Amino acid sequence: MDYIIGIDVGTTSTKALLYDLDGKIYAKANKGYTLYQNVPDMAEEDPEDIFNATLQAIQEVVAKGIKDNGKVLAISWSAQQHSLIALDKDFKPLTRTLTWADNRAEKYAAEYKENGRGLAMYKRTGLPIHPMGPFYKLLWLKNEKRDVFDKAAYWVGIKEYIIWKYTNVLKEEISMAAATGLLNMKTAEWDEEALKETEVTQDQLPELVETTYKIQGIKSEYAKVMGVGEDVYFVMGATDGALSTIGVGAIETGVLAINIGTSAAVRSFVDEPQVDPKARLYCYPIMNGKYLVGGPINNGGIVFSWAHDALFGAEKETAKLLKKDSFDMLTEIAEKVPAGSNGLIFHPYLGGERAPLWDANARGSFFGLNRSHTRAHMIRAVLEGIVYNLYSVTLALKEVTGEPKAILAAGGFVQSALGRQMLADVYEHEVVIPDSYESGSLAAMFLAKMSLGLEDKLEDIKKYIGSEKKYEPDDATYERYRRLIPIYIRLSRELATEYKSIADYQREFPDAEN
């Protein structure tokens, strides 16, 4: 039997799934690594740790899933966006991986926002004005880490580095290049003005290729460890955002894809570049004349994890004794509170925020607390705040792409009945949940099949997705949300005037964050 491995290099871990050619999953593996946050706004990872995680994950799924002399035809890649690594002339890292969550370039993003150059750059490249972008990270390195900047022979992201390490081939596919802010979204070539401003040359960047581009042949030492043939194909794949959208079947214009994992996003494909006049959304070319418009959100399930750890320590211990999942226990607690949490609103900006604020200084808050509120109200308000935030991004997306004709959702958040219903009620729209939980890996597998000539049309991924469940808004509930959401949005605008002040205080007195 022949197999394809879809691998997703995420912010906190790498997942590998082993598929047969019919899309059936035979094995899964998940390997984590450390996110270094030693100083304020820093968010780095060791590229060698991530590489080793991919090696171990592939080794595990091959060992667990392949029987009777089966063969892995291809390994196809999904990865986190906006990462940046400096390499020397021998391709050795001069830096750790600066992830999308690294906000140390905030000063330069703020300058570009104030002087108008950021908006001009956004209109050419589709990258919002935010320190997540490698464009702004390069400005920071150029001005504040000049010794490293001058030594750099190449600038790459984590996916390009990993594939180079396996194959000795350095390429970058279009969707990942678009997320750097160095690619002109209309020409799909490196943008001359962006290169000029960062003082990066084309020779320092990988050659651009399509998402289905394949490389055959990997180093024997790695093939032996993984248990695959040296002739295996590496398919470039795409960004996690693009593939998670494809993987739920949100291919047509007008279909909205919502993904709520550790972070979250709202996205939609369009057939030509569409930028937001207010620069609240990104617009990246992906493949075959398709562009992805959307808003990424820092604060998805990670906020629920914070509330779980910070507010419900006793329940965690109780769950252990009962041999029950503590997150499920919290969801059950939240279900006992009425929709709207009795007027308690939570702004989930615990790690700054990208869309819709694009403010690295944003901070979280509860609003409306009174003596009647309990921890149960707080945990429900946290879940509702995540969905309110997504909805506020969707309002911006509607201005650019129009009313959605369908909403597809995936991610850990919608694995609970409460999360699914909350989404339908806030959006006042039917929400469809595909059975394909690992949508990014599934889409990576499908791109490999296209690359190998085993599939022709992107739309045909739908036959691999399986069944879907549909959830309708509850008439008795959504009126409460309809009343609260405008308050949530107005509050976020009012509080925005003080985000920088409180963030500066926390930087000056770091113990204030602990």
244-301: per-residue pLDDT in tens? 999 999 999 999 999 998 889 999 999 999 999 999 999 999 998 899 999 999 999 9
Is 449 contained in some domain? no
Regarding whether 263 and 237 lie in a shared domain, the answer is: no
Positive or negative, the CA dihedral 244, 248, 249, 253 is negative
Which of 242, 269, 289 delimits the end of a domain? 242
Q: Are 280 and 128 in contact (CB under 8 A)?
A: yes
User: Prior bond to 40 cis, omega within 30?
Assistant: no
Burial 313-328 (b: 16+ CB within 10 A, else e): eebeeebeeeeeebbe
CATH number for the domain including 254? 3.30.420.40
Is 459 contained in some domain? no
Q: Which two tokens stand for residue 406?
A: 């369908």
What is the structure's pLDDT at 297?
A: 94
Looking at residues 175-189, what average pLDDT do you find? Answer: 97
Q: Are 24 and 465 in contact (CB under 8 A)?
A: no
How far is 486 from 69, CA to CA, in rounded Å?
60
Regarding whether 295 and 150 lie in a shared domain, the answer is: no
What is the structure's pLDDT at 209?
A: 98
How far is 450 from 412, CA to CA, in rounded Å?
28
How far is 142 from 197, CA to CA, in rounded Å?
10
Q: Which helix (H) or strand (E) holds 156?
A: strand 154-156
pLDDT band at 481 (very low <50, low <70, confident <90, very high): very high
pLDDT for residue 436 is more than 80: no
Q: Are 352 and 298 in contact (CB under 8 A)?
A: yes
Is 458 contained in some domain? no
Residue 511 phi/psi, 5° resolution?
-65, -15
Note the pLDDT tens digit of each residue in 365-389.
999 999 999 999 999 999 999 999 9
Is 37 contained in some domain? yes
Q: Which amino acid is at 308?
A: H
How far is 356 from 390, CA to CA, in rounded Å?
8
Q: Which domain holds residue 349?
A: 249-410+481-514
Is 431 contained in some domain? no
Positive or negative, the CA dihedral 493, 498, 504, 505 is negative
What is the structure's pLDDT at 176?
A: 98
What is the structure's pLDDT at 142?
A: 98
Regarding whether 365 and 236 lie in a shared domain, the answer is: no
DSSP state of 203: G
Is 420 contained in some domain? no
Q: Using alpha carbons, select from 416, 440, 276 the residue that is nearest to residue 334.
A: 416
| Residue whose entry in the numeric block shows the structure tokens 């279909």 | 255
The secondary structure of 341-408 as a DSSP string is GGG-EEE--BTBB-TTT-BTT---EEES--TT--HHHHHHHHHHHHHHHHHHHHHHHHHHH-S-SEEE
Compute CA distances 277 → 274, 386, 480, whole Å. Answer: 9, 25, 31
Compute CA distances 334 → 10, 65, 309, 349, 368, whole Å. Answer: 29, 38, 15, 20, 17
pLDDT band at 512 (very low <50, low <70, confident <90, very high): very low
Regarding whether 255 and 107 lie in a shared domain, the answer is: no
pLDDT band at 322 (very low <50, low <70, confident <90, very high): confident
What is the structure's pLDDT at 500?
A: 92
| Residue whose entry in the numeric block shows the structure tokens 């107005």 | 490
What is the structure's pLDDT at 314?
A: 85
How far is 348 from 380, CA to CA, in rounded Å?
12
Regarding whether 179 and 45 lie in a shared domain, the answer is: yes
Looking at residues 344-370, what average pLDDT do you find? Answer: 94
Which of 208, 242, 276 delimits the end of a domain? 242
Regarding whether 9 and 87 lie in a shared domain, the answer is: yes
pLDDT for residue 513 is more than 70: no
Regarding whether 230 and 320 lie in a shared domain, the answer is: no
What is the structure's pLDDT at 243?
A: 96
Note the pLDDT tens digit of each residue in 98-138.
999 999 999 999 999 999 999 999 999 999 999 999 999 99
| Residue whose entry in the numeric block shows the structure tokens 């197999």 | 3
Q: Are 391 and 426 in contact (CB under 8 A)?
A: yes
Is 419 contained in some domain? no
Regarding whether 210 and 82 lie in a shared domain, the answer is: yes
How deeply is 478 buried, as exposed, middle or buried, from its count of CB atoms within 10 A (0-12, 13-18, 19+)?
middle
Compute CA distances 186 → 128, 177, 267, 302, 401, whole Å. Answer: 16, 13, 19, 35, 18
Which of 242, 271, 289 delimits the end of a domain? 242
pLDDT for residue 165 is more than 90: yes
DSSP state of 93: B
What is the structure's pLDDT at 15?
A: 96
Is 192 contained in some domain? yes
Regarding whether 176 and 288 lie in a shared domain, the answer is: no
Q: Which amino acid is at 292?
A: L
HSE-up of 156 (CA within 13 Å, CB side)? 29
Regarding whether 378 and 497 lie in a shared domain, the answer is: yes
* Long-range CB pairs of 368-376, under 8 A, 24+ apart, other chains included: 368/343, 368/344, 369/344, 370/343, 372/342, 373/341, 373/342, 373/344, 375/311, 375/312, 375/333, 376/333, 376/334, 376/336, 376/337
| Count of domains for the chain | 2
Regarding whether 288 and 220 lie in a shared domain, the answer is: no
Looking at residues 16-29, what average pLDDT do you find? Answer: 97
Regarding whether 179 and 67 lie in a shared domain, the answer is: yes
Looking at residues 174-184, what average pLDDT do you find? Answer: 98
How far is 81 from 91, CA to CA, in rounded Å?
20
